Amino acid sequence: MIELEGLTKRYGEKTAVNNLTFSVRPGIVTGFLGPNGAGKSTTMRMMLGLDNPSAGSARIDGKHYAQLKNPLRHIGALLDAKAMHGGRSAHNHLLCLAQSNGIPRSRVDEVLDTVGLTAVARKKAKGFSLGMGQRLGIAGALLGDPQILMFDEPVNGLDPEGIHWIRNLMKSLAAGGRTVFVSSHLMSEMALTADHLVVIGQGRLLADTSMADFIRENSRSYVRLRSPQRERLLDVLHAAGVTVVEAGNGTLEVDGHSAEELGELIGSHQLVLHELSPQQASLEEAFMQLTAESVEYHAHTEAPAAPGWGGSWQQGDNEKGA
């Protein structure tokens, strides 16, 4: 269990993390979301005792990180996969970690096997691809067989097979009763992995809720209808007091009624339907909706773009090339 209480971090005038209070519970995967610069990494660093809070506290199993006797046995973390001695082999990197943390050396081969790096265990880490580096970082997090795992952008640089692997790894760690806390900007991946979400924006807590509730509360759900008897269908819906939005291409959208209710109503008038489908927004849409106000770095989309080119247009770029 991780518990934050009023956690705050100020850098001069800038409040990077602002009075965060939430808990990360065992047995589920908790996703940690926020736009760039929202304060996710700073929060994670404070949880691991790498940064001192300006106010408030972060507790790991009831203790500050610095009070943990064998920290790697309590919490394993992947923060920055590149933060390792590149001249060491994967095996030696993990062996050093094990020896300095009272972890049996037998764990080194076990975790190398878990992350699929056994074949390259004697190769120097500096020659590793981004994805291999991520796997080695994850091996380091698993080394002490901790009950709590924290991953900052773990799928960075991983190929589809690697992404699938880390998703299953996190789910199985949680299913085994561990606490799993993971940040990612890949919303589609987060939607498949996390059960619970903590969302922050400009350092403040915006949501602490289940994935299903988050999507429901921050997006519009509606039912999409298509019928070759469109005019008659509109008459039936209007007569029943149902508000309909015409979405183009003959498609109708209805808010506030379930697909079951609409199906019963339309069926009772013996109308033909080509589509009756409940629509739920994606996590990405719900996230954009919630965080729209707190995005720190917006791209400029107002600038005129060259025909057929979707990027932003800056005068300077043109001048440089002239």
List all residues 6 or more positions away from 225 whose beta carbon is below 8 Å from its beta carbon: 233, 251, 252, 253, 254, 262, 266, 273, 275, 276
User: Residue 197 CB, nearest distance to ligand ATP (Å)?
Assistant: 14
Distance of closest approach, residue 255 Cβ to ligand ATP, in angstroms: 33
Residues forming contacts to ligand ATP in the complex (CB under 6 A) are: 11, 14, 16, 34, 36-42
User: For ligand ATP, which is the closer residue by CB, 275 or 296?
Assistant: 296
- Smallest separation, CB 14 to ligand ATP (Å): 5
Residue placing its CB nearer to ligand ATP in the complex, 135 or 152: 152
Query: What residue ranges in the chain does DSSP mark as E strands?
Result: 2-11, 14-24, 29-33, 55-60, 75-78, 148-152, 179-183, 196-201, 204-210, 222-226, 244-246, 252-255, 275-279
Residue 30 or 42 having the CB closest to ligand ATP: 42
Burial degree of 2 (CB within 10 A; 0-12, 13-18, 19+): buried
Closer CB to ligand ATP, 43 or 147, in the complex: 43
Position 32, amino acid: F
- Residue closer to ligand ATP by CB (options 9, 93) is 9
Contact 278, 258 (CB under 8 A): yes
Closest distance between ligand ATP and the C-beta of residue 231, in Å? 50
Q: How far is the CB of 294 from ligand ATP (least distance, A)?
A: 11
